């Protein structure tokens, strides 16, 4: 069960993967982060170091605990270093081909056939990833939210092949080991949160696209009029506009509902590399990830 999971692997050390690795290390787990190569592994290492230091500076974590957590982390560019893991969490780019290839490789690398392979996908079918392995009953969705060290929710997603033991073990792991609140979802595009959230974000993008209101006005309306902690366009920028577009496309592919269709402005911004905070500009502009000035939509 979850108490027996002490060796965790994370595939992908980007924004989500590094956050997942951090919470695992802070929970006392032996954690290996595998990136595409040594250079990317060093970048992931720096990302976690900065996050831990930020937690210390904000008084959320003491210095000794931060140092202990960092000492539990290994960053590598060699997938073979995941061979002895009891749980591997995939957090690579939201692309079906890339994720499927990753799971097929993990199935060959992770030696223990009882080890669980989890995906942090926010929208792709868990069953499709499980079918790329010879252990579909041990493949499950474990969807964290950004920023992972801060947000308490995890979605546990079972496919038609996922065993009850796998679901219960992962749910207990998220709850009892990581201290997260776990909710279960069926294997449908968007799961619970994004199936509700993404149409709202797309509606805000359409409003900006039409010139109905500015990005600043839309966000202020929802923050001050509805007491939302963050407006929809700021939130889209935080998530990453490429990720929002990918989730929307998955939702539309599955349900064929117009409210899930990505607006043309969103597609153009992704093509232009204006992805939000991580690139310095989306619906707003940012300086080192902090909001600077609102960007007016094209008139």
pLDDT band with cut points at 50, 70 and 90 for residue 94: confident
**pLDDT over threshold 50, residue 295:** no
Same fold, 2-186 and 194-291: no
Identify the pLDDT of residue 293: 46
Identify the pLDDT of residue 288: 63
pLDDT band with cut points at 50, 70 and 90 for residue 245: very high
pTM of the model: 0.88
Contact call for residues 69 and 26 (beta carbons, < 8 A):
yes
**pLDDT digits over 268-282, tens only?**
999 999 999 999 999
> Which residue in this structure is represented by tokens 């776990």?
182
| Alpha-carbon dihedral 290, 38, 19, 164, rounded to 10 degrees | 150
**Known catalytic membership, residue 257:** no
**Residue 295 CA: distances (Å) to CA of 134, 162, 208, 280:** 48, 45, 10, 11
Rounded to an integer, the average pLDDT of 84-96 is 95
Superfamily of domain 2-186: NAD(P)-binding Rossmann-like Domain (3.40.50.720)
- Residue range 194-291 in CATH 1.10.760.10: no
**pLDDT digits over 154-178, tens only?**
999 999 999 999 999 999 999 999 9
Identify the pLDDT of residue 14: 93
| Alpha-carbon dihedral 246, 231, 153, 10, rounded to 10 degrees | 50
**pLDDT over threshold 60, residue 77:** yes
> Which residue in this structure is represented by tokens 């992704």?
270
Rounded to an integer, the average pLDDT of 173-195 is 96
**pLDDT over threshold 80, residue 185:** yes
**Known catalytic membership, residue 51:** no
> pLDDT averaged over the chain?
94
**pLDDT digits over 11-46, tens only?**
999 999 999 999 999 999 999 999 999 999 999 999
**pLDDT over threshold 60, residue 186:** yes
Per-residue burial over 26-54, b = 16 or more CB atoms within 10 Å of its CB, e = otherwise:
bbebbbbbbbeeeebbeebbebbeebbee
> Which one of the listed residues 35, 51, 90, 143 is annotated catalytic?
143
Burial (CB count within 10 angstroms: exposed 0-12, middle 13-18, buried 19+), residue 1: exposed
Phi, psi of 89 (to 5 degrees): -110, 120
Cα distance between residue 277 and residue 202, in whole Å: 18
> Which one of the listed residues 159, 194, 250, 284 is annotated catalytic?
194
**Known catalytic membership, residue 146:** no
Taking Cα atoms as reference points, which of 181, 185, 206, 201 lies closest to residue 265? 206
**Known catalytic membership, residue 122:** yes
Identify the pLDDT of residue 181: 98
pLDDT band with cut points at 50, 70 and 90 for residue 296: very low
Instruction: For residue 293, give the 3-state DSSP assignment.
Output: strand
Indicate the domain borders of the chain: 2-186, 194-291
Identify the pLDDT of residue 290: 58
> Which one of the listed residues 22, 155, 161, 284 is annotated catalytic?
155
Q: What is the CA radius of gyration of the chain?
A: 19
> Which one of the listed residues 18, 122, 159, 185 is annotated catalytic?
122
**pLDDT over threshold 50, residue 236:** yes
Rounded to an integer, the average pLDDT of 64-77 is 97
Any idea which of 79-83, 114-118, 203-207, 247-251 has the lowest mean pLDDT?
Answer: 247-251
Rounded to an integer, the average pLDDT of 131-153 is 96
């Amino acid at each position: 069960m979850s108490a027996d999971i002490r060796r965790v692997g994370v595939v992908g050390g980007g924004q989500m993967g590094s956050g997942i690795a951090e919470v695992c290390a802070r929970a006392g787990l032996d954690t290996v982060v595998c990136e595409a190569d040594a250079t990317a592994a060093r970048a992931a290492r720096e990302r976690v170091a900065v996050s831990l230091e930020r937690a210390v500076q904000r008084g959320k974590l003491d210095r000794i605990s931060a140092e202990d957590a960092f000492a539990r982390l290994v960053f590598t560019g060699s997938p073979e270093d995941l061979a002895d893991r009891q749980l591997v969490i995939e957090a690579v780019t939201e692309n079906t081909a890339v994720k499927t290839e990753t799971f097929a490789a993990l199935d060959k690398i992770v030696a223990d056939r009882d080890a669980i392979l989890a995906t942090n996908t926010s929208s792709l079918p868990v069953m499709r990833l499980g079918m790329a392995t010879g252990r579909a009953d041990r493949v499950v969705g474990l969807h964290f939210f950004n920023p992972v060290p801060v947000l308490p929710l995890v979605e546990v997603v079972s496919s038609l092949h996922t065993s009850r033991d796998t679901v219960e073990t992962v749910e207990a792991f998220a709850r009892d080991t990581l201290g997260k609140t776990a909710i279960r979802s069926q294997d449908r595009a968007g799961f619970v949160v994004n199936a509700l959230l993404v149409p709202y974000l797309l509606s805000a993008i359409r409003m900006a696209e039409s010139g109905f209101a500015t990005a600043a006005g839309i966000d202020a309306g929802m923050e001050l009029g509805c007491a939302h902690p963050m407006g929809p366009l700021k939130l889209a920028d935080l998530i990453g506009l490429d990720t929002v577009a990918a989730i929307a496309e998955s939702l539309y592919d599955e349900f064929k509902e117009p409210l899930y269709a990505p607006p043309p402005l969103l597609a153009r911004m992704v093509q232009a590399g204006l992805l939000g905070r991580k690139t310095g500009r989306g619906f707003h502009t940012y300086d080192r990830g902090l909001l600077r000035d609102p960007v007016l939509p094209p008139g």
